[in-house]
Chains A and B, each alone.
Chain A
Amino acid sequence: MARKIIPIGPYHPLQEEPEFFKLHVDGETVVDMDIELGYNHRLIEKIAESKSFDQVTFLVERICGICSTSHPFAYVNAIDDLLGVQVPERALYIRTIIGELERVHSHLLWLGLAGHFLGYNTVWMWAWRYREPVLDIFERIAGNRQNYAMMKPGGVRRDMFEEDFPWIKKTLKDLIPKFDMFKGAVMDDPVIHARTEGVGVLTKEDVHDYCAVGPTARASGVGIDVRKDDPYAAYDKVEWKVITQEGGDVYSKAVVRILELYESLNIIIQCLDKMPKGPIDINIKDMLSGEGIGRHEAPRGEVFHYIMSDGGNSPARHKVRAPSFMNIASNKKAVIGGTISDAAIILAAVDPCYCCTERMAVVDYKTGKKLMDGQDLIRLSQAKTEKLRKR
C-alpha cells in the first residue's frame, strides 16, 4: 500500500505560532513525521537590538497573543538579574498575580479547545464562558483584556487598588465550582478516559531527551517548575504545590492543567491577602554592561530570555526561547505509532496552538490529490468519540 502524507498547517488567523506537520501514514497508523517552522518568523531578536530597554518590554509582549505577559515577565527578570537590583515587594506580588491570572485563562482556553477536538463542544463553550471573568479582572487591573503592559524592569507599570481586592477575590472564588465541574467532566467520563489514556505517551526519559518543559514534562512525572526551582517574584512567599501526574499521556496533561487552575487561584488569593503597601518601581536610570538570564514559568512551560548589554540604550543581544520550541519537538515521539484520529489531540496536548491542527489535509502521496481537509480530520476525531459513547 502506498504511503500517504498528511500535511497539517501552517496558517490559521485565530492562533499564534503557525507550524507545519507532515504526518507519514500507513493506513491508519502514523509512521513518521516532519515538523517545519518559521511561517511567522519576525526576527524579534534583531528588532530588539534597535529598541530601548523599556520599549523591548512592549515588543516581547507581542510575541504571543495568548500568554502575553510570559515574555515580558522573563525579560524583566533578565534585566533585574543583569543589574542585580532588588525590586520592591509590592511589585513582586503584582507580577505574581498577573502571571497566575494568565495561567488560569490560558489553561481554560486549552481545555475548551481540547474538548472541541474530542467532540465535547459543550465543554468548549463552558470553558470559554468561564474564561471571561478572568479577562474582566485583567480589564479592571490593567485596562486591557490582553497585552496588559504591566511589566517594567525594576517594578511594574501600574499599581493595583485595594478597593478592587474583594471583587477580584469573589470573582475568583465563584470560579471554583466551575473548575469542580470540569474536573468531574474529565476525570469521571469513561469516554474521555478511553480517548486520552495511553495516547501520545511521553516517558520520563523522553522528557529528558527532548528537554520538554511545563505541563508536558509534569504530566510525565518530572516535577520541574521554574516558580519552585528558581523562585522569582513572590512565588517563594506563598504556599502552593507543583502538580505532577505519572501517565505521560494526553489524559495526564489534561489533569495537570485542571489541577493547576486551583493552585493558581490559591496563589492569587494569598497574594491579595499578603500584598504589602509601598512603592511599585525603583525607576532604573542607568543601564550597565553585562549579561542577564531571566526565566518565567509560562502556562506552557519555561520561557527563557538572555540579555547582553554593552551599557548602551539597547540590548547588544537578546535571545528569546519560548516553551513550545522544546515541546513541539517532543510530538515526534508522541505521535509516531498512534493513529490519525488521535494525532489531532496529541498535537494539541502540548498546547502549542491549534492553527496547526485545524488546518489539516490528507493528500495522496503519489497523485497529490487532496483526500480530506482539517474539518474532516476533526470530524474523524469526534466520530471516534461518538462510537465509544454508544458502546
Chain B
Amino acid sequence: MKREAIIENIKVRSGKGLIEFTNKSKNRIYFTINKAILTQTVKYLFNDVKARFSTASGVDIRKAVEILYHFSIDEIGLIVTLRVIMDKPDLEIDSLTPIMKCAEWIEMEMHEMLGVNFKGHPNLKHLLLKDDWPDGNYPLRRD
C-alpha cells in the first residue's frame, strides 16, 4: 500500500480522534491520537496493512505520560508512529497484546518503568525488574 493511502486511511478512520499529524520526513510520520481510538487504529495497521510492530517508547513528560507505538511498513520503508498522551494520574490504556502477541513484553516493561496500567493484558508482571521491587516506584518517572 502506498504511503499517501495509508495516511489518508488513518485520517479518515480516526475522525475526531486524530489530534495532530506530523509529516517529519519521507520515511517518518507521526499521528497523535486519542487513546479511545488506539485499538482500532492498531487493528488497521497490524491486521490490514500487515505492518510490523517495532516497539513502543513510553515517555514521562511531567504532567502526562505519552506512549509512542512505532510500526514499520517494510515494503515502503515507512515508520508510522502513533502517539497517545495520558494525563497523570489516570495512566490507563487498552492493552494491545490481545491483537498482537509481540506487544506483550514491551507493555510489561512500560508497566514497571512508568506505572502505566494496560487493561486486558494477560500477564502484567515484572519483566526486567526483580519480583520484589517496591510497589509504586517507577524508574523512568520524573515526578
Q: List, in ascending order, chain B residues with CB within 8 A of A41's CB.
A: 128-129
User: Which listed residue (B27, B79, B128) contacts A38, Cβ 8 A?
Assistant: B128
Q: Which residues of B contact A308 (CB under 8 A)?
A: 57, 59
Interface status of A190 (Cβ within 8 A of chain B): no
Q: Name the CB-closest residue of A to B22.
A: A291
CB <8 Å contact, B140 and A211: no
Query: Total A-B residue pairs with C-beta atoms closer than 8 Å?
Result: 78
| Contacting pair A319 B57 (CB below 8 A) | yes
B74 touches A229 (CB 8 A): yes
CB pair A319–B101 under 8 Å, yes or no, is no
Please determine whether B101 and A210 come into contact, CB atoms closer than 8 angstroms.
yes
Given contacts A41-B128, A84-B25, A293-B79, contact A321 B101 (CB under 8 A): no
Decide if B18 is an interface residue (CB 8 Å cutoff): no
Residues on the A chain within 8 Å of B55, using CB:
304, 306, 319, 321, 325
B101: chain A residues within 8 A (beta carbon): 209-210, 329
A230 in contact with B128 (CB, 8 Å): no
Select one of A84, A231, A293 contacting B70, CB under 8 A: A293
Please tell me if B130 contacts chain A, counting CB pairs below 8 Å. yes
Determine, out of B3-11, B37-45, B46-54, B84-92, the stretch whose residues face the partner at the interface. B46-54
- B28 CB, nearest partner CB in chain A, Å: 6
Interface residues of chain A: helix, strand, loop or mixed (majority): mixed
Residues of A within 8 A of B59 (CB): 308, 316-317
A81 contacts chain B at the CB level, 8 A cutoff? yes
**Cβ distance B55 to chain A, nearest Cβ, rounded Å:** 4
Task: Quote the shortest CB–CB distance from B114 to chain A (angstroms).
Answer: 11
Say how far A82's CB is from chain B's closest CB, in angstroms: 9
Report the interface size for chain A: residues with CB under 8 A from the other chain: 31
Q: Which of A46, A291, A293, A329 contacts B140 (CB 8 A)?
A: A46
List B residues 55-88 near A (Cβ within 8 Å). 55, 57-59, 68, 70, 72, 74-79, 81
Q: How many residues of B contact A (CB 8 A)?
A: 36
Which single residue of chain B is at the shortest CB-CB distance from A41?
B128
Which residue in A38, A211, A293 is a CB contact (below 8 Å) of B53? Answer: A211
> Would A43 and B74 be within 8 Å (CB), given that A38-B130, A208-B50, A209-B102 are in contact?
no
Does the CB pair A38–B129 fall under 8 Å?
Answer: yes
Interface presence of A37 (CB below 8 A): yes
CA distance A273 to B55 in the complex (A): 37
Q: Does B35 contact A (CB under 8 A)?
A: no
Chain B positions near chain A (C-beta within 8 angstroms): 24-25, 27-28, 30, 50, 52-55, 57-59, 68, 70, 72, 74-79, 81, 100-102, 104-106, 126-130, 139-140
25 contacts between A and B (CB under 8 A): A37-B105, A38-B128, A38-B130, A41-B129, A45-B140, A46-B139, A46-B140, A81-B25, A84-B25, A208-B52, A209-B102, A210-B102, A211-B100, A211-B102, A229-B74, A230-B72, A291-B24, A293-B28, A293-B81, A306-B55, A306-B57, A308-B57, A317-B57, A325-B105, A325-B106
- By a beta-carbon cutoff of 8 Å, the part of chain A in contact with chain B is 37-38, 41, 43, 45-46, 81, 84, 208-211, 213, 224, 229-231, 291, 293, 295, 302, 304, 306, 308, 316-317, 319, 321, 325-326, 329
